[in-house]
Structure 1
Amino acid sequence: MDFEDMLWTVLGTGLVLLMLVDVFRTLLYPHGSGPLGRAIMRGFWLVSRKLRGRGSFIAAPLAMAAVIGAWAGLAAIGWALLYLPHLTDGFVYGAGVPLRADFAEALYISMVTLSTVGFGDIVATDPVLRLVVALQAVTGFGLLTATVTWILQTFPALNRRRALAHQLTLFREAAGPAGVLDMEPSHATGLLEAIAGNVATVTIDLLAFHETYYFREIEQRGSLPATVAYAHELASQAQRSESSELQFAGRMLHAALDGLAEVLRGKFGHSGATSSDVFDSYELHHRHLRGGKPDTT
């Protein structure tokens, strides 16, 4: 193997390892996200902030598709570079299949193997290559199932966030300006404790499913950035109550909101000395406030 072949082998190995690390950190590593996936999601997010209308709401789903495409591309190109130095001596070609030793041929072998199609027109004969081909086929099947699982896990997390936003909206409409102070303390306590539990769940979702942060909501009623400030207001009201049970529920909700603000500050770069400041920044980024007014386009 000469220097050029060694170079292709090292480069191909690096691309495959980058794909594996990114998939592991995005799908398997708790509270993590891969550097490539995070960069793609953030890039689409920044572009979406320049868009007006409904186009900005499909940026996150498109970004997820781009991440999956990047994983598949890295795998296909990486393994193609591993095969390239061994064309054509390391493979046996079927009848009528032309002998070629270029990158396009290596990419064809890699894509057929990655997709587990297995046409059988070009088969590895070298023992090491046979193991590499088998490993790629297993990786391709694993990548397919992992990405489907990723999608199926992401949207329930989004629904939990939307449900919390709707819960806060309904609470605000039903309670009126006085909030919990005009309610029977034991009933208000139960409601605030339920909201605190839902806030904690959404916080865990943001840690476990980093990509859900970049989804914008079409309806403001289902937008947590547009409603989370009201939860902070309810917690403050409860702590001014004369009921010790309601005060405890208020402190509990405050603690849950502080945890959410810490995640937004530490993981997504929102600034603010207090949780209220962080939530204002969160609302600004997701509702595209201009001149103090929400963007309704």
Structure 2
Amino acid sequence: MDFEDTLWTVLGAGLVLLMLVDVFRTLLYPHGSGPVGRAIVRGFWLASRKLRGRGSFIAAPLAMAAVIGAWAALAAIGWALLYLPHLPSGFVHAAGVPQRGDFAEALYISLVTLSTVGFGEIVPAHPLLRLVVALQAVTGFGLLTATVTWILQTYPALNRRRALAHQLNLFREAAGPAGVLSLDPRHAAGLLESMAGNVASVSIDLLAFHETYYFREVEKRGSLPATVAYAQELASEAQRSASPELQFAGRMLHAALDGLADVLRGKFGHPGTTSSDVFDSYELHHRHRRRGEPDAN
């Protein structure tokens, strides 16, 4: 194997390794995200902030599709570069199939193997190449399964966030201007404790599925960035209550909101020394309020 063949082999192995690391950190590492996926999602997010209308709301789903496409491209090109130095002598071609040794042929073999189609008209001859081809087929099946699992895990996390936003809006409409103090203290305490648990679940979702942060809601009613400030109002009102149960529930909700603010500050770079400042930045970034505009709550 000459220098050029060694170069293609090293480059191909590097691309495959980059794909595997990115998939592992995005799908299997609980609080991480791969460098490729993170760059793509953030790129789509920054581009969507310059858009108007519904285009900004489909940026996150498109970013997820782009990440999956990038993983497939890294895998296909990486293995193609591994096969390239061994074409055509390292493979057995069926009768009538032209023997070529260019990158297009290597990419074709790689794509057929990655998709587990396996037409069989071009098969490896060397035992080591057979092992590499089999490994790629297993990886291709695993990549398909992993991406489907990723999508299936993402949307339940989004639904939990939307459900919390709807819960806060329903509470605001039902309680009226008097807020939590208009309710029976024990009943109100139970509701606030439930909200605190839901806020904690959203914090965990943002840590485990960072891409869910970049989904914008079409309707303000289902947007947590637009309603989380009201949860702070409820926590403050509850702590001013004379009821010990309601005071405890208020402290519990306040602690859960501080935890959410810490995630938004540390994971997504929202500035602010207080939770209120972080939530203001969160709302501004999701375009439910413009800078300098008063809070509608």
Q: What residue identity is the alignment partner of 1:290?
A: R
The answer to whether the 8 A contact 1:180-1:188 is kept is: yes
For 2:126, the aligned partner's letter is: D
Counterpart in the other structure of 1:251 = 251
**Counterpart position of 1:215:** 215
Once the two structures are superposed, the pairs formed by residues 22-33 of structure 1 within 5 Å of their partners are 22-33=22-33
CA drift of 1:292 comes to 3.5
| Greater shift in the superposed pair: 23-32 or 69-78 | 23-32
Q: Distance in 2 between matches of 1:184 and 1:72?
A: 56
Alpha-carbon separation, structure 2, partners of 1:18 and 1:291? 39
Residue 183 in structure 1 maps to residue 183 in structure 2? yes
TM-score (normalizing by structure 1): 0.98
- 1:289: how far off? 3.3
CA RMSD of aligned residues (A): 0.9
Letter in 2 for 1:42: R
8 Å CA contact 1:49–1:288 kept in 2: the answer is: no
Whole-Å separation in 2 of the counterparts to 1:37 and 1:150 = 12
How many angstroms apart in 1 are the aligned matches of 2:23 and 2:109?
22
Indicate the SS of the match to 1:287.
Answer: coil
Equivalent residue letter for 1:13:
A
Residue 138 of structure 1 pairs with residue 138 of structure 2: yes
Corresponding position of 1:156: 156
CA contact (8 A) 1:27 1:146 kept: yes
Q: Which runs of 4+ in 1 moved over 4 A?
A: none
The C-alpha deviation readout for 1:144-186, integer Å capped at 9, x for no partner, is 0100000000001000000000000011111112211121100
Distance in 2 (CA, whole Å) between partners of 1:291 and 1:281 is 9
Structure 1 match to 2:242: 242
Instruction: Give deviations 1:72-122, integer Å, cap 9, x for gaps.
Output: 000000000000000011100011111100000000000000000000010
How far has the Cα of 1:288 moved from its partner? 5.3
In the aligned structure 2, how far is the partner of 1:78 from the partner of 1:184? 64
- TM-score computed with the length of structure 2 as normaliser: 0.98
Letter in 2 for 1:149: T
Q: Secondary structure at the match of 2:286?
A: helix
Number of residues paired by the alignment? 294
Secondary structure (helix, strand or coil) at the match of 2:188 reads: helix
Identity score, percent? 86
Contact 1:15–1:74 at 8 Å: present in 2 too?
A: yes
**Secondary structure of 2:92 counterpart:** strand
Report the Cα offset of residue 291 of structure 1: 4.7
The answer to whether the 8 A contact 1:16-1:79 is kept is yes
Alpha-carbon contact 2:220-2:288 (below 8 Å) kept: no
In the alignment, structure 2 segments of 5+ residues that lack a partner are none
Matches of 1:260 and 1:149, distance apart in 2: 25
- 1:17 is the counterpart of 2:17: yes
**Paired residue for 2:38?**
38
Query: How far apart, in 1, do the equivalents of 2:132 and 2:288 lie?
Result: 49
Residue in 2 aligned with 1:4?
Answer: 4
Find the counterpart in structure 2 of residue 124 from structure 1. Answer: 124
What is the deviation of 1:293?
Answer: 4.3
